Structure 1
């Protein structure tokens, strides 16, 4: 499975950070068009108000990943993530998974969701997370762009359907490599 960030006009993803590519990535992430507050997990230690019933966390589990192209080395991918729900439909969290080559991997991220973008389909939402991916090492280090010592940046857009106020089905787009299907639960 390939995760990561690649400039659309660059057919050959970089193997290490360079000043122009790093600047382009930082400029894209700080763009006002994204309208995302990238402060990591503010208020994570805030006490729960007495009698509060709103969910504060979200779990995600994916039992299935479909790769756009077949590779005989691909193995089944299973992922689990835990996110902290923040004001204004923001999240921060960590995902643990076994990557497409059977290596234990992790993804620490921040994100934002946009619920109800389609007036005719109010239960449909889109979201995006961005963060640091770890896990593609050894002979698979070149399977993700900008991998330095197993660490690489990643941006993962998703489309979901809210089944209830506390559950949803979601499809995450994993770059040019695959898409992942899973379910979310808020608690």
Structure 2
């Protein structure tokens, strides 16, 4: 596949498979994401997806083995400020990785700053393998559960700046675009 580097193909396939298997299970009455097949808003031109790009991650404890982390994710916006998606990234040790997730955001959680929002995603990452398998907790065969809190500032209805807390390891800076 010319548009996906060969090293990212396996993590991309794993993330897509997790999303395809997990999304139908999340849909429907009583599921975590009821209305998966419905748009997030009743407005016909309302954004249905959100893309996130991170060009920079700051590690709390620098390590000579750390490499710069780049991440790109796509989320499907769901009713009640929920979302499901997947991310492709190179982890802190240069390994191609993927993250399949579900999440919820709380827009305008602080009345003094209505453009601020908080969000929380949870899912499974794949990619910490080999000598780096113990760098994430509960890693089994390269798969590990993850919870990522974030705070963002909405610049416009379609764009925002966001900071994601990556456990005790790092903080990721990025931007989002809704479409």
**TM-score, structure 2 as length reference:** 0.79
2:44 maps to 52
- Does the CA-based 8 Å contact 2:98-2:126 persist in structure 1? yes
- Map residues 5-20 of structure 1 onto 2, 5 A cutoff: none
1:39, distance to aligned residue in structure 2 (A): 3.7
Q: Return structure 1 stretches of 4+ with deviation > 4 angstroms.
A: 40-49
Return closer, same or farther for 1:46/1:118 CA change in 2, 3 Å cut-off. closer
Q: What is the aligned counterpart of 1:72 among 44, 64, 67?
A: 64
- Map residues 171-182 of structure 1 onto 2, 5 A cutoff: 171-182=163-174
Return closer, same or farther for 1:103/1:89 CA change in 2, 3 Å cut-off. same
2:109 maps to 117
- Does the CA-based 8 Å contact 2:39-2:78 persist in structure 1? no
- Does the CA-based 8 Å contact 1:38-1:110 persist in structure 2? no
Q: How many residues align?
A: 151
- Does the CA-based 8 Å contact 2:121-2:148 persist in structure 1? yes
1:6 maps to none
Counterpart CA distance in 2 for 1:116 and 1:145 is 32
Q: Deviations over 1:100-159 (max 9, x none)?
A: 000000000000000111111000000000000100000000000000000000000000
Q: Deviations over 1:11-55 (max 9, x none)?
A: xxxxxxxxxxxxxxxxxxxxxxxxxx9946554445899x81000
1:103 and 2:61 matched: no
Higher share in helix: 2
1:140 and 2:132 matched: yes
